[in-house]
Amino acid sequence: MMIKISLPDGSVREYEKGATSMDIAKSISEGLARKVLAASIDGQVCDATRPIEQDVSLRLLTWDDLEGKSTFWHSSAHLMAEAVESFYPGVKFWVGPAIDRGFYYDMDLGDKKMSEDDLAELEKKMNELARQNNSYVRKNMAKAEAVNYFSEKGDEYKLDLLQGLTDGEITFYTQGNFTDLCRGPHIPSTGHIKAIKLTSVAGAYWKGDEKNKQLTRVYGITFPNQKELDEYLAMLEEAKKRDHRKLGKELGIFTFDDDIGQGLPLWMPNGAVVIEELEKLAKETEQSADYKRVVTPHIAKESLYLTSGHLPYYQDSMYPPMELEGVKYYLKAMNCPHHHKIFSATPKSYKDLPLRLAEYGTCYRYEQSGELFGLMRVRCLHMNDAHIYCTREQFADEFRAVNDMYLKYFRIFGIEKYVMRLSLHDPEKLGKKYINEPELWKETEEMVRQVLIESNIPFVEVPDEGAFYGPKIDVQIWSAIGREFTLATNQVDFAQGRRFKLEFTNKENSPETPLIIHRAPLGTHERFIGFLLEHYAGKFPTWLAPVQVSILPISDKFLEYGKSVLQTLKNADIRVELDDRSEKIGKKIRDTELMKVPYMLIIGEKEMSDNMVSVRRQGEGDKGSQQLNDFLIALQSEIRDRNS
C-alpha cells in the first residue's frame, strides 16, 4: 500500500504506508534527516518517528522553524526533569512547557530546596544525559493503567492531569531513566541538545493560584550548538546594560510613583521631548497620507462598550466603572468605538471614503500587577492609533499604504529585521470563534497576502489565530542586539462596522457597511520608547535626543561667549544646554557623555575670538573646530532628515 505525501514545495511523493517523517527526510537527504526535530502533518506537529498511515501534507521541522524550536525546548524540559530526578529522588513534576525563549518545569521537591547555586550541577548532569543520545519513546497507555501507575507513585499532580484526559488519548514518553505523562511531540533523541543553560529558579503556585502549594520552577534554554548559546548569553548581557528601566532612570525619561500607582508611568521632561518628536513624525506622516486628526475623551458610557462588545468580553482588562447620576462610565481601553462615533456623526457617501481618522489616543487597561513590567506592560498607554474606513474595492490600496508606512518607520529607526505574522481564520470555526463572513474572510486574507508578497515583506501565516472580526497582522521587530519585540498590530475588521451600524451610500445609492482597518505602526509610546531605549542603548539620534547639544566652556572666562552660542542655537529651535559649572573640562565632558548628548561644543580662547566651536560627536570623538554657523546648518539638516 502506497501513500501520497505533499511537500511544501508543491511536490507529491509516494511512500509505503507506515513510513515515518524521518524516513521521508532520509529519502530526500541524510543531511536534512540529521536536522529534523519534528514534523507538521496536516498542520499538526508530531514526532518525526510516528508512522504515517494515509495521504497527508508534510512539513519537516528543524531548528529554523518555530515549532521545531518549541519541540526542542519542551524535550529539553524532559531532559532537565531526568537530571532533577537523579538528584532529588521522589520529586513530583507538574508541567514543563516550552516558552518564547527556552522552557521551564514546575516541580514539587517535597521538603528539599533548590537554589541558583544548584543549577551548575544540574547542567552538568543534563549534558551527560544528552550525550547518551537516548531516544524519546512514545507509548500509548490505557487510562486505568496510567492512574494505577501514578497512584502507586503517589503523584497527585499527574493524577490531576489525568482527570482531564480521555481514555485512548493518553501517552507516556520515556528517555533514558525518565518517564513522563505527556502528549508530546518530542525530538528524536537527546543527542540533538548540545548546549544547555539553566537560567533561574523561582517559586510558582500550583495552577497559578496563590491558595495552592508553591512549587519550584526552573527555567532554562538549550541550543543545537555552543555558538548559538554563546551568542544568546552575550545578547542577554548586552540587554542588561540596555535595560530600558535602567536607562529610563539614568536619562530622566520616565519614573513610577507609589502614590500614582503601579503601571502608570510619569513621563519626565526628557521623556516628554521624545514623545513630542514621535508624535510630530506621526502627524507629518499621517498628514501627507491624508489622515484626519481627531481628539476624543478618556471615558465613555457603558452603552458604548456594550455596542462594541468590549463588555462583557473584555471586562477583565478594563478598569471598573465609575457611577455618576445613575450612569456607568468606563475608562477607554481602546479608541475604536470613539472613532466609529465620529464616522457616524454625519452621513457618508462613497465619495467620503476612504476616511482615515487618527489620534494619539490615551487608553487604560487593567493588567494584573504580576504582569506589569517597566514600560513594556503598563496600565496607561498612548497609542499611535488610526482607523481607516473604506470600501471593499479600496481595501487593497489602503492596506498597501499602511504597510508602506510601517516600512518607512522601520527605515527611520534603523529597524533592519522584522516579520509580519498574518493570523488567519479557521473555516470550521465560522460563526463561533470568527464572525460568519466566509467570503469576506477569503477575500481579505487573499488581498493581505498578495500585498505582503508584492511588497516583499517577510511574513509567516498563522492558522486559526485571527481576531474575531478579521485577519490580524502582528509586527515583530528585532532591536539592534537581536532581541525580539511585538510592537504593533494591523487588523481588518468586518464586525465593528455592523455593530455600530456604520453606513455609507454606495454608487448604486444603497447603504453599505465600510470595512475598517485598525492600525498603529508606532504601537504605544510606552512600548516603542522602551524598545528605542534598548535599540539605541539610550543614544538617541539627534532628532529624537532630549538634549541635542551641550556647550562646555573650558573656564568661566568663556561663559559670556557660551551664552551667546546658547542663544544662537535656541533661536534656531535646537535643544541646547550650557554647562556653566566651574568644573574641569574633563569632568564636564564625562558627565555629558553619561547623558548621551549627541553633540558637545567645547569653547575656549581660539573659538571665542573666531566665533567658532570645537565639536565632539558622541561615539565619534573630536571633529575639530568649525564656524558656529556651519555647525548649525549641518545640524539642522541632520535633524530635518531624521538621520540616525
| Residue 158 found at the interface with Zn ion (CB under 5 A) | no
Query: Candidates 291-299, 366-374, 511-519, 594-602 — which segment interacts with Zn ion by CB under 5 A?
Result: 511-519
Nearest CA-CA partner of 355 in 343, 346, 347, 341: 343
In the 8-state DSSP scheme, what is residue 242? Answer: T
Calpha distance 546→419 (Å, rounded): 30
For Zn ion, give the closer residue by CB, 84 or 182.
182
- Of residues 581 through 620, those in contact with Zn ion by CB under 5 A are none
Query: Candidates 54-62, 126-134, 517-525, 587-595 — which segment interacts with Zn ion by CB under 5 A?
Result: 517-525
For Zn ion, give the closer residue by CB, 517 or 576.
517
Calpha distance 237→251 (Å, rounded): 20
Minimum distance of Zn ion from residue 499's CB (angstroms): 13
Query: Candidates 126-134, 176-184, 193-201, 522-530 — which segment interacts with Zn ion by CB under 5 A?
Result: 176-184
Containing 613, the helix (H) or strand (E) segment is strand 612-617
Calpha distance 497→495 (Å, rounded): 6
Strands 98-99 and 515-519: unpaired
Q: Is 465 exposed, middle or buried (0-12, 13-18, 19+ CB in 10 A)?
A: middle
For Zn ion, give the closer residue by CB, 493 or 512.
493
Calpha distance 221→229 (Å, rounded): 8
Minimum distance of Zn ion from residue 317's CB (angstroms): 14
Query: Candidates 105-113, 240-248, 518-526, 576-584 — which segment interacts with Zn ion by CB under 5 A?
Result: 518-526
For Zn ion, give the closer residue by CB, 244 or 518.
518
Minimum distance of Zn ion from residue 180's CB (angstroms): 6
94 backbone dihedrals φ, ψ, rounded to 5°: -100, -105
Minimum distance of Zn ion from residue 473's CB (angstroms): 13
Minimum distance of Zn ion from residue 162's CB (angstroms): 15
Minimum distance of Zn ion from residue 517's CB (angstroms): 9
Minimum distance of Zn ion from residue 67's CB (angstroms): 14
Query: Candidates 113-121, 180-188, 224-232, 411-419 — which segment interacts with Zn ion by CB under 5 A?
Result: 180-188
For Zn ion, give the closer residue by CB, 385 or 579.
385
Q: What does the buried/exposed string (b/e) look like for 344-368 if buried means 16 or more CB atoms within 10 Å of the residue's CB?
A: eeeebebeebbbbbbbbbbbbbbee
Minimum distance of Zn ion from residue 527's CB (angstroms): 16
Please provide the distance, in angstroms rounded to a whole number, between the alpha carbons at the two ends of the chain.
Answer: 63
The number of residues that bind Zn ion (CB under 5 A) is 3
Query: Candidates 56-64, 216-224, 336-344, 500-508 — which segment interacts with Zn ion by CB under 5 A?
Result: 336-344
For Zn ion, give the closer residue by CB, 54 or 177.
177
Query: Candidates 139-147, 329-337, 448-456, 604-612 — which segment interacts with Zn ion by CB under 5 A?
Result: 329-337
Minimum distance of Zn ion from residue 328's CB (angstroms): 22
Question: What Å distances lie between residue 579 and 221, 268, 416, 555, 631, CA to CA?
Answer: 48, 20, 37, 10, 19
Minimum distance of Zn ion from residue 164's CB (angstroms): 16
Minimum distance of Zn ion from residue 219's CB (angstroms): 17
Strands 266-267 and 299-301: unpaired
- Of residues 5 through 64, those in contact with Zn ion by CB under 5 A are none
| Residue 336 found at the interface with Zn ion (CB under 5 A) | yes
Residues 6+ apart with CB under 8 A from 230: none
For Zn ion, give the closer residue by CB, 81 or 452.
81
For Zn ion, give the closer residue by CB, 518 or 588.
518
Residues 6+ apart with CB under 8 A from 252: 268, 269, 270, 271, 546
Contact of 629 with 622, CB cutoff 8 Å: no
Cα 74 → chain centroid:
21
For Zn ion, give the closer residue by CB, 72 or 409.
72
Strands 171-175 and 56-61: unpaired
For Zn ion, give the closer residue by CB, 47 or 277.
47
Q: What does the buried/exposed string (b/e) look like for 139-174 if buried means 16 or more CB atoms within 10 Å of the residue's CB?
A: eebeeeebbebbeeeebebbbebbeeeeeeebbbbb
109 backbone dihedrals φ, ψ, rounded to 5°: -90, 10
Contact of 61 with 39, CB cutoff 8 Å: yes
Calpha distance 130→144 (Å, rounded): 32
Calpha distance 221→194 (Å, rounded): 11
User: Would you call 198 helix, strand, or coil by DSSP?
Assistant: strand
- Map grid coordinates 519585540 to a residue: 485
Minimum distance of Zn ion from residue 320's CB (angstroms): 22
Query: Candidates 53-61, 118-126, 510-518, 589-597 — which segment interacts with Zn ion by CB under 5 A?
Result: 510-518
Query: Candidates 8-16, 35-43, 179-187, 275-283 — which segment interacts with Zn ion by CB under 5 A?
Result: 179-187
Minimum distance of Zn ion from residue 305's CB (angstroms): 13
| Residue 182 found at the interface with Zn ion (CB under 5 A) | yes
Nearest CA-CA partner of 347 in 496, 499, 504, 500: 504
The mark string for 93-112 relative to Zn ion (x by CB under 5 A, - otherwise) is --------------------
Minimum distance of Zn ion from residue 247's CB (angstroms): 30
For Zn ion, give the closer residue by CB, 122 or 336.
336
Query: Candidates 175-183, 375-383, 461-469, 629-637 — which segment interacts with Zn ion by CB under 5 A?
Result: 175-183
For Zn ion, give the closer residue by CB, 95 or 268.
95
The mark string for 365-404 relative to Zn ion (x by CB under 5 A, - otherwise) is ----------------------------------------
Minimum distance of Zn ion from residue 335's CB (angstroms): 6
For Zn ion, give the closer residue by CB, 93 or 223.
93
Contact of 294 with 357, CB cutoff 8 Å: yes
For Zn ion, give the closer residue by CB, 336 or 452.
336
Minimum distance of Zn ion from residue 347's CB (angstroms): 23
Contact of 439 with 494, CB cutoff 8 Å: no
For Zn ion, give the closer residue by CB, 187 or 275.
187
Dmax (CA) of the chain: 96
Contact of 206 with 453, CB cutoff 8 Å: no
For Zn ion, give the closer residue by CB, 522 or 552.
522
Calpha distance 441→438 (Å, rounded): 5
The residues binding Zn ion (CB under 5 A) are 182, 336, 518
